[in-house]
């Protein structure tokens, strides 16, 4: 079954530093991949998605992600982190189930930003 793994439960970076959040997927063909962000007390907001084509995907809030088939990865990056980026980040993949398809989330990475 398709799934995503986020190996880092918690990451702390300094404001202004670069950020990379890891996501590994399990799927034989090209997957539909997403990154969502959840701020405290809020629902999830879509940052970006990958379906096909250019493997470097730009999203909102200055985030980007790169799809690497050889590594089964879809890591999220930001060159310079702002304090407002502190949140929980979820990688997600569409799991195909015959006639029905589901959006399956990873366990999340909680990002803390130090001043």
- Interface contacts to other proteins, rule CB under 8 A: 32, 36, 41-46, 49, 51, 90, 94, 97, 100-108
Residue closer to other proteins, measured from CB, 49 or 77 = 49
Write the DSSP string, 77-111.
EESS--GGG-EEEEEEEEEEETTEEEEEE---EEE
Determine contact, residues 78/59, Cβ cutoff 8 Å: no
Taking the complex as a whole, the smallest distance from the CB of residue 36 to other proteins amounts, in Å, to: 8
Q: Rounded to the nearest whole angstrom, what is the least distance from the CB of residue 16 to other proteins in the complex?
A: 29
Rg (CA), the chain: 14
Looking at beta carbons only, is 40 or 115 nearer to other proteins?
Answer: 40
- Residue for token digits 């589901």? 102
Smallest distance, other proteins to C-beta of residue 17, A: 27
Residue closer to other proteins (CB basis): 59 or 85:
59
Q: What share of the chain is helix, strand, coil (3-state, %, to 5)?
A: 10, 55, 35
**Closer of 41 and 115 to other proteins (Cβ):** 41
Minimum Å distance from CB 90 to other proteins?
7
- The Cα–Cα gap between 50 and 54 comes to 9
């Amino acid at each position: 079954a398709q799934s995503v793994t986020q190996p880092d439960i918690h990451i702390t970076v300094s404001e202004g530093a670069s950020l990379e959040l890891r996501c590994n997927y399990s799927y034989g063909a090209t997957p539909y991949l997403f990154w969502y962000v959840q701020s405290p007390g809020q629902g999830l907001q879509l940052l970006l998605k990958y379906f096909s084509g250019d493997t470097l995907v730009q999203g909102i809030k200055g985030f980007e992600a790169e799809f690497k088939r050889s590594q089964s990865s879809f890591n999220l990056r930001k060159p310079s982190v702002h304090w407002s980026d502190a949140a929980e980040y979820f990688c997600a993949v569409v799991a195909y189930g015959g006639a029905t398809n589901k959006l399956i989330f990873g366990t999340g990475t909680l990002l803390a930003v130090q001043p």
